[in-house]
Structure 1
Amino acid sequence: MRVVDLTHVIKEDMPVYPGTETPKFLPGSTYDADGFKETCLQMFTHTGTHMDPPAHLFANGMTLDEFPASQFIGKAVVVDCRGLGEGEFITMEHVRACGDAAEEADFLLFNTGWDQYWGSLEYFGEYPCIDDEVLDFILAGDYKGIGFDVIGLDPIADENLTRHKRLFAHRAIVNIENLTNLDACGRGLFDFSCFPLPLKDGDGSPVRAVAWFC
Structure 2
Amino acid sequence: MIYLEQLFAAVDDYFIEKLVENDPVFDQILANNQKHQLPPHDVSPSQGKFLYLLAKIKGAKRILEIGTLGGYSTLWFAKALDNDGQVISLEYDKKHAEVAQENLDFAGVSNRTTIIVGTASDSLKKMVHTQTAPFDLIFIDADKENNSVYLQYALQLSTPGTIIIGDNVVRDGAILDSSSSDGRVLGVRSFVDDLATSKTLTSTAIETVGVKGYDGFTISIVE
Which is richer in strand?
1
> Structure 2 length as normaliser, TM-score?
0.31
> Structure 1 length as normaliser, TM-score?
0.32
Which is richer in helix?
2
Q: Which has the higher contact order (CA 8 A, sep 6+)?
A: 1
